[in-house]
Amino acid sequence: MESATEAKAKAAVNGKPATGETFEVHRPVDGSVIETVAIDSPESVAAGVARIRAAQPAWEAIGFAGRRRWLESLRDWILANQERLDALMQEETGKVRADASLEAFYCLEAINFWIDQGPKFLADEVVTPHNPLLRAKRSKIVHRPYGVVGIIAPWNFPVILSLGDALPALMAGNAVVIKPSELTPLTLIEMVRGWSEEVGAPDVLAVVNGMGETGGALVDESDYVQFTGSERTGKVVMKRAADTLTPVSLELGGKDPLIVTRTADLERAANATAWGGLLNTGQICISIERVYVEEPVYDEFVELLRAKVEDVRQGADGNTYSAEVGAMTSPAQTEIVSDHVEDARAAGARILTGGKRKQGPGDWYEPTLIADVDHSMKVMREETFGPVIPVMKVKDVEEAITLANDSKYGLGSSVFAGDSEEGERIARRIEAGACNVNDVLVNYNVLGLPMGGWKNSGIGARHGAQGIRRFCRTEALTIPRLPQGKAEPVWFPYSPRKRGFVRRLYRFINARGLRDRLGL
Ligand code: NAD
């Protein structure tokens, strides 16, 4: 019988590793090895992309209705296998079950969203020419798929940030090759195996495995690259894509601020901050990473938040839903988290709860609340990406807005204020791709809204019309409405009489006032 490893190797784009090299995937909760995965060499990536490229024209040709049917079958397969997929996701990431289950939930919702909305977002757009002389043409914009979309994904939401982006790319008529993070490839590999072997869908979705070399090769072979990951790697990917003039969409890091005004409902703000800062062990690009609180309510808010963070249970909860915060997924990230907390501690911040790694096997960092921080500290300036919430006192809303905008990042943000109008006034001044008034993270769930970053948080956006149009080239069409003569007046040969006529015509159209139009 075929082993699980062999089955997964089959789902890799080319079936067999050309290098013979492998990497291990670990359980973050105790550090043990789950599985060894074969690395795809650049040659293997090229061969795999060529294979799915060959299947892409037929996929494009079946149209939205045909592609919709396959995506619906994938949705039904995910539903039928959800428990198993959630468990595997939990195993390779160290998430609590509630967080692990978000990945399948997202895919189900996103499939339904893109199969319904995709055809509308990509419908031909009729353009009325500005020049009346051109109205004898039908002019339209047609959205056509790039061909092969390469997706390079991080480890924090291994399926949402890979298959989640593949869904609109596929619906648009592309073939897709995904390179998941080497820390967390297993659930995605299993889902792509499900697509090809159990759903029996066309050969237009594949996985390549490995690290930077594999990712770089995928950039070289793709017609469009969707990258989600760190700012540092995003720049490397964009530079590499420049060699082949391949367009990219970059979803990078964040340092999301949350502002609490003196008029806010502090209980709601504290609940939201604890959840938005600690969900997925704080490993979300749109985690709450900095909190600014107006002076009159600072002490009360900090005490409320301290109680919430202390109440959070951390552990490996299997499928019991008995913990809120899980393990860290990446040992390298735990080092960064620890460094930021120690930097703040050394600079005089107060660690109110947490503030250290847990002893024992696995990779665990305690839910941590830090008060009395300032902008000289790393924890307020660099992406922490862990279960750490730093809170800073500000004298008023103006200072809060200034500090919120004092960041090289601009991904998400939140404002808690006494009423929606006050909240919206502040939100409109925040330099970020999104702002949630009296809420956290929720913009990600509104799939009709673009989700993308300003400044160093990225280029482009997933979700909304942009989220599917980015996977298409536009083609401008002009088509005659009326019978045509043998030549147009502006074509060769030129003569004084014809050019005089053209000049008078352009004058008549573009001048204002009858006398000017007639040249009198
Ligand atoms: P990373 O940049 O280290 O790795 C991301 C992916 O790039 C991985 O698959 C990795 O193997 C690959 N890679 C590494 N070197 C490469 C190279 N030279 N060429 C091509 N690919 C290469 O990021 P990570 O640590 O996996 O993820 C965490 C980061 O992702 C955080 O900064 C986080 O904010 C960001 N993120 C952003 C969003 C968003 O939507 N903006 C969402 C989630 C995570």
- Residues paired with residue 250 on neighbouring β-strands, in sequence order: 227, 459
| Residue numbers of the chain with a pLDDT score lower than 50 | 1-18
- Residues paired with residue 149 on neighbouring β-strands, in sequence order: 176, 224
Residue minimizing CA distance to atom 35 of ligand 1: 229
Question: Among 107, 285, 435, 472, which one carries the catalytic annotation?
Answer: 285
Whether 285 is a known active-site residue: answer yes
Task: Check whether the bond before 387 is cis (ω within 30° of 0).
Answer: no
* Residue 391 · residue 301 · CB < 8 Å: yes
**pTM of the shown model:** 0.95
DSSP secondary structure, 102-165, as one string: HHHHHHHHHHHHHHHHHHHHTS-EEE--SSGGGGGEEEEEEEEE-SEEEEE--SSSTTTTTHHH
- Tell how far the Cα of 171 is from the centroid of ligand 1, in angstroms: 24
- Whether ligand 1 lies within 6 angstroms of the CB of 233 is answered as yes
- Whether ligand 1 lies within 6 angstroms of the CB of 212 is answered as yes
Distance (Å, whole) CA 98 – CA 496: 78
- Whether ligand 1 lies within 6 angstroms of the CB of 411 is answered as yes
Residue 139, token pair as written in the block? 């002019």
- Tell how far the Cα of 153 is from the centroid of ligand 1, in angstroms: 6
| Residue 148 to residues 173, 204, 235, 246, 298, Cα–Cα distance (Å) | 9, 9, 21, 11, 51
> What is the C-alpha radius of gyration for the chain, rounded to an integer number of angstroms?
27
- Whether ligand 1 lies within 6 angstroms of the CB of 17 is answered as no
- Residues paired with residue 365 on neighbouring β-strands, in sequence order: 357
* Residue 65 · residue 53 · CB < 8 Å: no
Closest CA to 94 of 153, 160, 26, 181: 26
Burial label, 485 (beta-carbon count in 10 A; 0-12, 13-18, 19+): exposed
Q: How far apart are the first and last CA of the chain?
A: 92
| Residue 88 to residues 6, 17, 300, Cα–Cα distance (Å) | 17, 23, 41
Q: Which residues of 326-344 are buried (b: 16+ CB within 10 A; e: fewer)?
A: bbbbbeebbebbbebbebb
Test site for ligand 1: of 39, 152, 163, 409, most ligand atoms within 8 A of the Cβ: 152
- Whether ligand 1 lies within 6 angstroms of the CB of 251 is answered as yes
Q: Residue 20: what pLDDT?
A: 82
Give me the residue label for tokens 């990431």.
93
- Tell how far the Cα of 181 is from the centroid of ligand 1, in angstroms: 8
Map residue 331 onto helix, strand or coil: helix
Dihedral sign for Cα atoms in the order 306, 310, 316, 319 = negative
- Tell how far the Cα of 140 is from the centroid of ligand 1, in angstroms: 37
Residue minimizing CA distance to atom 34 of ligand 1: 253
Give me the amino acid identity at 444.
Y
Helix H or strand E encompassing 38:
strand 33-38
Distance (Å, whole) CA 302 – CA 329: 28
* Residue 391 · residue 291 · CB < 8 Å: yes
- Whether ligand 1 lies within 6 angstroms of the CB of 159 is answered as no
* Residue 75 · residue 111 · CB < 8 Å: yes
Name 502's Cβ contacts closer than 8 Å, sequence gap at least 6: 489, 490
- Whether ligand 1 lies within 6 angstroms of the CB of 462 is answered as no
Distance (Å, whole) CA 447 – CA 5: 35
Whether 251 is a known active-site residue: answer yes
DSSP secondary structure, 230-247, as one string: -HHHHHHHHHHHHHTT--
- Chain-centroid distance of CA 169 in Å reads 13
Return the number of other C-beta atoms located less than 10 Å from residue 464's C-beta.
18
- Tell how far the Cα of 236 is from the centroid of ligand 1, in angstroms: 11
Q: Residue 12: what pLDDT?
A: 44
| CA atoms in the 13 A half-sphere facing the CB of 439 | 12
Distance (Å, whole) CA 423 – CA 421: 5
- Residues paired with residue 390 on neighbouring β-strands, in sequence order: 370
Distance (Å, whole) CA 436 – CA 259: 10
| Residue 330 to residues 33, 42, 312, 445, 496, Cα–Cα distance (Å) | 14, 25, 21, 25, 75
